[in-house]
Amino acid sequence: MAKQKQQRAKRVDTNPRGAAAQKPRSSIDIPFLVLVLILLVFGLIMLFSASYVTAIDKTGDMYYYFRRQITWAAIGLGVMFLVMIIKMSTIKKLVPLIMVLNLGLLAATLVMGRVGGGAQRWLMIGGIRFQPSEITKIAIVLFFAYYISRHYKAITDPVSPRKSPAARFLIPRREILVLLFMLALNAGLVILEPHYSGAIILVVVGIIILFAAGVPFHWFVKLAVVLATAAAVLLTFGHNYVQRRWNSYLDPFADMRGDSWQIVQSLYAIGSGGLLGVGLGNSVQKHLYLPEPQNDFIFAIVCEELGVVGAILVIVLFALLIWRGFSIALKSNDVFHRLTVIGIMTLVSVQFILNIAVVTHLVPVTGISLPFFSYGGTALLILLAEMGLVLNISRYSVK
């Protein structure tokens, strides 16, 4: 009798539709929580160091950015612990509503959004200014995990026997088309703002989740051809600032006082840091040379003040967080749980890698922030909520 119960429990645990693990099996993953808190505190320290000169120049209050960020960090920690204790079955039921809300916010941004830096990416609701595209990232992750968990067999074998051989080769099954349509819809609305880097992140995350779900590899080859064609069209016929940024990437020193000013100052900051840096708080480039040092280029200030040692420390901390997150995913027998964690950790990975690549001039300049470090209250709040989701799912892990 006991053996039969164990066999039934095993069948439930491996159910791809997500019937498994309605009750937590263990406590939260403590190493992951510790890494989140270390990165949060480290990020707040570097934010204050990088921002106080700009804060004095713009507001007369050296603590302006730091005070707002630490307030959002406190709220974010509360949200993280709240998300951590909500039943995952409840979160799963809310996914369609989250996606509808996300699409509504993206549409509202195009109609009544605030313009800044030549892009219409911000909404103002209740006195809070935020980018709906930050919500889109987690909405896509949750929707992909939710939909794949409900249509797992069809998505992992996406060839319909009813189609002709030519159609089977060119057209995936309806379930795959639904996911690709939702990805294209969200990325398209983000591109219209325009926010190309946000769209790139969405596409990469969507592809990684499909790959992790087990979609046959030949579909990714075909998708790569489509994406390469779309990228060529955008570079050729896209907004003028995209072409300007591409030109400044090819030769940043050709227009040092124009489009290339920020990346050149970033390289100066990195180069002057040396092995051990100039010391915490002693950056020269943050004294109104490097524009907005508290935002996308905060890693350059880390390199200048803490040197190669500090830069490696940041990279190691992120690498440990990402590794631990994927370990949590691999310990889950529930498809929705596993793909949610994979999607969230892919989000963190892509933003982390692209931000450092931009700051070090490995890729063209894009508006991608460094998680935990860059200034942005709502972005930090959503990031900590995502970390709460990962910690929540870690409670359902199996050995």
Spatial neighbors of 287 by CB under 8 A, at least 6 apart, are 53
Q: In this predicted structure, what is the pLDDT of residue 6?
A: 47
Q: In this predicted structure, what is the pLDDT of residue 218?
A: 74
Q: In this predicted structure, what is the pLDDT of residue 230?
A: 75
Q: In this predicted structure, what is the pLDDT of residue 372?
A: 96
Q: How far apart are CA 67 and CA 14, in angstroms?
A: 47
Q: How far apart are CA 346 and CA 361, in angstroms?
A: 22
Q: In this predicted structure, what is the pLDDT of residue 146?
A: 97
Q: How many CB atoms neighbour CB 214 within 10 A?
A: 14
Sign of the dihedral defined by the CA atoms of residues 288, 291, 294, 297, in that order: negative
Q: In this predicted structure, what is the pLDDT of residue 159?
A: 56
Q: What are phi and psi of 119, to 5 degrees?
A: -130, 150
pLDDT digits (tens, 9 = 90+) for 194-220: 888 888 899 999 999 999 988 877 777
Residues of the chain with pLDDT under 50: 1-15, 17-21
Q: In this structure, what DSSP letter does residue 113 have?
A: P
End-to-end alpha carbon distance in the chain = 24
Pair type for strands 128-130 and 114-116: unpaired
In one-letter notation, the amino acid at residue 235 is L
Q: How far apart are CA 191 and CA 234, in angstroms?
A: 10
User: For 105, how many CA atoms within 13 A lie in the half-sphere containing its CB?
Assistant: 21
Q: How far apart are CA 254 and CA 50, in angstroms?
A: 27
| Helix spans in the chain (H) | 2-13, 30-59, 64-85, 88-112, 132-150, 152-156, 165-170, 174-191, 196-213, 218-237, 240-250, 261-273, 298-330, 335-359, 377-394
Cβ(359)–Cβ(270) below 8 Å = yes
Q: What are phi and psi of 323, to 5 degrees?
A: -60, -45
Among candidate residues 10, 41, 14, the one with its CA nearest the CA of residue 332: 14
Q: In this predicted structure, what is the pLDDT of residue 185?
A: 94
Q: Tell me the domain boundaries of the chain.
A: 24-394
Among candidate residues 133, 143, 137, the one with its CA nearest the CA of residue 210: 143
Cβ(207)–Cβ(227) below 8 Å = no
Sign of the dihedral defined by the CA atoms of residues 230, 236, 241, 247, in that order: positive
Q: How far apart are CA 43 and CA 170, in angstroms?
A: 47
Q: In this predicted structure, what is the pLDDT of residue 148?
A: 94
CA 227 from chain centre, in angstroms, equals 20
Q: How many CB atoms neighbour CB 111 within 10 A?
A: 8
Among candidate residues 302, 350, 320, the one with its CA nearest the CA of residue 198: 350
Q: How far apart are CA 301 and CA 52, in angstroms?
A: 12
CA 361 from chain centre, in angstroms, equals 20
Among candidate residues 394, 296, 302, the one with its CA nearest the CA of residue 344: 394
